Chains A and B, each alone.
Chain A
């Protein structure tokens, strides 16, 4: 403890206060430099765009998650919402509903899930972790029983503009990357300059105080989860358009953990009130660089996972050494 303090003071004085975001950013830059020198073809514009393409869905999901995490929540139903609502849209399209109408239905379903999440958290006062955990399995189960007959739903033969969302390009930049950038810009503006954004930070910082000072915390929660689900739906559209199908089995995968990692790794604390879009971008970049480099090196998938985990752990440990938590100020129940 004592050593840590000394260390942290030194660090604060000399290293210009290293936050987790900066650590992760430095790590990303470092990896980037290493890969650029050691891997042929890594630093090419084409590969870098591909890299961005590959993580843009993760990044969009990260934005969605960041919104609720900043408000001291979490949304574990994000992947289920995304997969089931989009898969339902695709099913409807295959059944002959027009693309626009089907997507509208899917969007309304996602929004509905988000609002139910928010309502349960705000009014029934169920902890977000459990509410969304339960909602995730519930949505998946309901979707598989009632809405979607098979676990992989394919895109229709002629998806039109919808297909361009995944396959199209603008000035040589793939559409998913553009979607990620656009959403990042919008999220930055909303979080920074709108009442909705500022209230989200207040609620994350101190929910009770925000409530007492007149922030409409309950409607705010409903809105946050609604918006998060909508962004999740958008991420699902991009996924579906880029691989011509929606695989509902991803609900049972560890994808939700990857999304949380992107958010937390970037430096948005799970205790809320901190961080922003920049953190999501930094976290996404690190994961993207890692995955891309390792794929180029043809490292086995399981080893990739191991390396990814080890690097994440290293980042967490480093952050804890630099910014140790204090026994006296740590919040109870802040896990």
Chain B
């Protein structure tokens, strides 16, 4: 059965290659299908990847199908299962956490479908990975806080952490990075570490209470820009937004990131630029499909560099606009 499937795929690939060659060179991906399972469409990261990829690769003939599980791991798993039986040429998956899709990703690779993971590594290694290093982002945020609040900076050293859901993997890794930096430092004191569940209202309430308790709070590290606007609102109301540093991270979409950096809402912004990621993804997809890289062969890995944006280095093109790609 498996052999038969392999032969089929091989012949399909061969046919595709032949026809690809026969056709004009401007459609090298004609007849290929990419299936994308995000955590959910409808927010800047996934919309960015999806639309940029469409703009980039569809003219080359690639067909992109997307299954939107709307934040449900179980639905996502089901979508993966049905995609595996549909056998796309490449499967692009944004893991909700490290292990939920692990078994399914291995199954996909075993059936000969190369899997490209984005922004969150599963415990199973697959053909390709593109994405931010969450631990690195955590580290960068903590280092930024240390620089502004630690010894020699004149800050009080008190910082507050506003996490995502405690069980969310990206939140856990950011926390891990922060802990690595703060480990053994006694000039920085974490006065509050609370989960706001990606909800700005909760972030606002938490930060509000913490600010009242600690008049000399130096910095707030918020784990996602979408929720950090809540923390920012609390800071603005109580301190006029000045003497408390707000550090956050995100996918660098114009309204979510640069607008807020420009108006002083966010002080430091760690970015894993979706635009760069999309370029990486497109490149890897091309490579996998045209060079016929099979699962189990070469491993492709593009970790997105973490950069810091603040009011000083903000440029007009620091962010991307979703509207440019739709």
Interfacial residues, chain A to chain B (CB-CB below 8 A): 41, 44, 46-47, 50-51, 53-54, 57, 94, 144, 149-152, 154, 157, 166-167, 174, 239, 242-245, 247, 249-250, 252-253, 291-292, 295-296, 298, 300-302
B263 near A292 with CB under 8 A, answer no
Give the residues in chain A near B74, CB-CB below 8 Å: none
Query: Are A54 and B166 within 8 A (Cβ)?
Result: no
Jot down 18 A-B pairs with beta carbons below 8 A, ordered by A.
A50-B212, A144-B42, A149-B47, A150-B42, A152-B256, A242-B233, A243-B201, A243-B204, A244-B229, A245-B200, A245-B229, A247-B200, A249-B199, A295-B192, A295-B209, A298-B193, A301-B166, A301-B196
Instruction: Please judge, given known A-B contacts A298-B192, A298-B194, A301-B166, whether A47 and B212 are in contact too, CB under 8 Å.
Output: yes
Q: Determine the chain B residues whose CB is within 8 A of the CB of A300 once the complex forms.
A: 166, 193-195
Q: How many angstroms from the CA of A168 to the CA of B318 in the assembled complex?
A: 32
Shortest Cβ distance from B211 into A: residue: A50
Alpha-carbon distance A144/B166, docked complex (angstroms): 26
Across the interface, name the chain B residue whose C-beta is closest to A241: B233
- Known pairs A247-B199, A301-B166; A154 contacts B44 (CB<8 A): no
The interface residues of chain B lying within 8 Å CB-to-CB of A252 are 70-71
Contacts A46-B212, A167-B237, A244-B200 supplied; 14 other A-B pairs, CB < 8 Å: A41-B213, A44-B212, A47-B212, A54-B204, A150-B42, A151-B40, A243-B203, A243-B230, A247-B201, A296-B209, A296-B213, A298-B192, A298-B194, A300-B194
Smallest distance from the beta carbon of B230 to chain A beta carbons, Å? Answer: 4
Binary A-proximity of B50-75 (CB < 8 A = 1, otherwise 0): 00000000000000000000110000
Tell me the nearest residue of chain B to A140, going by C-beta. B70
- Cross-chain contact B43 with A250 (CB below 8 angstroms): no
Residues of chain A lying within 8 A (CB to CB) of residue B166: 300-302
A44, A174, A298, most chain B CB atoms within 10 A: A298
A interface, over-half SS = helix
Q: Which residues of A contact B156 (CB under 8 A)?
A: none
Q: Does B293 contact A (CB under 8 A)?
A: no
Closest Cβ neighbor of B232 among chain A residues: A244
Q: Are A253 and B197 in contact (CB under 8 A)?
A: yes
- A51, chain B: closest CB distance, angstroms: 8
Most chain A Cβ neighbours within 10 Å, of B40, B70, B213, B226: B213
In the complex the two chains form, what is the Cα distance from A45 to B197 in whole Å? 28
A291 and B205 within 8 A (CB): yes
Shortest Cβ distance from residue B320 to the other chain A in the assembled complex, whole angstroms: 13
9 residue pairs, one from A and one from B, having the closest CB atoms: A301-B195, A54-B205, A243-B200, A243-B230, A295-B209, A152-B226, A151-B42, A243-B233, A245-B229
Q: How many residues of B contact A (CB 8 A)?
A: 44
Partner of A292, one of B200, B203, B209: B209
User: Closest chain A residue to B260 by CB distance?
Assistant: A154
CB-based contact A54/B212 at 8 Å = no
Chain B's nearest CB lies how many Å from the CB of A38? 14
Report the Cα distance A279→B237, complex, angstroms.
Answer: 30
Total A-B pairs in contact (CB under 8 Å)?
108
Whether B243 sits at the interface, judged by CB under 8 Å, is no
Chain B interface residues toward A at CB < 8 A: 40, 42-44, 47, 70-71, 166, 191-201, 203-206, 208-210, 212-213, 226-227, 229-230, 232-233, 236-237, 255-256, 259-260, 263, 265, 322, 326
Across-interface contacts of A298 in B (CB, < 8 A): 191-194
- Asked, given contacts A41-B212, A157-B259, whether A249 binds B236 with beta carbons under 8 Å apart, the answer is no
Q: Give the residues in chain A near B212, CB-CB below 8 Å.
A: 41, 44, 46-47, 50
Q: Which residues of B contact A253 (CB under 8 A)?
A: 197, 199
How far, in whole Å, are A29 and B40 apart by their CA atoms in the complex?
43
Which residue of chain B has its CB nearest to the CB of A291?
A: B205
CB distance from B118 to the nearest CB of A (A): 18
Q: Are A239 and B191 in contact (CB under 8 A)?
A: no
Contacting residues, chain B, for A50 (C-beta < 8 A): 208-209, 212
- Asked if A150 meets B208 with Cβ closer than 8 Å, knowing A57-B201, A252-B71, A301-B197, the reply is no
- In the assembled complex, the CB of A202 is this many whole angstroms from the nearest CB of chain B, namely 36
**For the complex, what is the distance from the CA of A302 to the CA of B194, rounded to whole Å?**
9
Evaluate contact between A244 and B233: CB separation under 8 angstroms: yes
- With a cutoff of 8 Å between Cβ atoms, the chain A residues found around residue B200 in the complex are 152, 243-245, 247
A115–B259 Cα distance when bound, in Å, is 38
Assess whether B43 is in contact with A151, with CB atoms less than 8 Å apart.
yes
Q: Which residues of B contact A46 (CB under 8 A)?
A: 212
What B residues does A249 contact at CB under 8 A?
71, 198-199
User: Inside 8 A of B44's CB, which chain A residues have their CB?
Assistant: 150
Distance of A5 Cα from B236 Cα, bound (Å): 55
**Closest partner residue, chain A, to B214 (CB atom):** A41
Closest to B193 in A: A298
B44 CB to nearest chain A CB (Å): 7
**A295 and B194 within 8 A (CB):** yes
CB proximity of B77 to chain A, nearest CB, Å: 18
Min distance, Cβ B233 to any Cβ of chain A, angstroms: 5
Minimum C-beta distance from B229 to chain A (A): 5
What's the least CB distance linking A254 to chain B, in Å?
9
Q: Is the CB of B208 within 8 A of A53?
A: yes
Residues of A within 8 A of B263 (CB): 157
Q: Which residue of B lies closest to A42 (CB)?
A: B213
Taking a contact as CB atoms under 8 Å apart, the answer to whether A166 and B192 are in contact is no
Q: With both chains docked as a complex, state the minimum distance between the C-beta of A82 and any C-beta of chain B, in angstroms.
A: 11
CB atoms of B210 and A295 under 8 A apart: yes
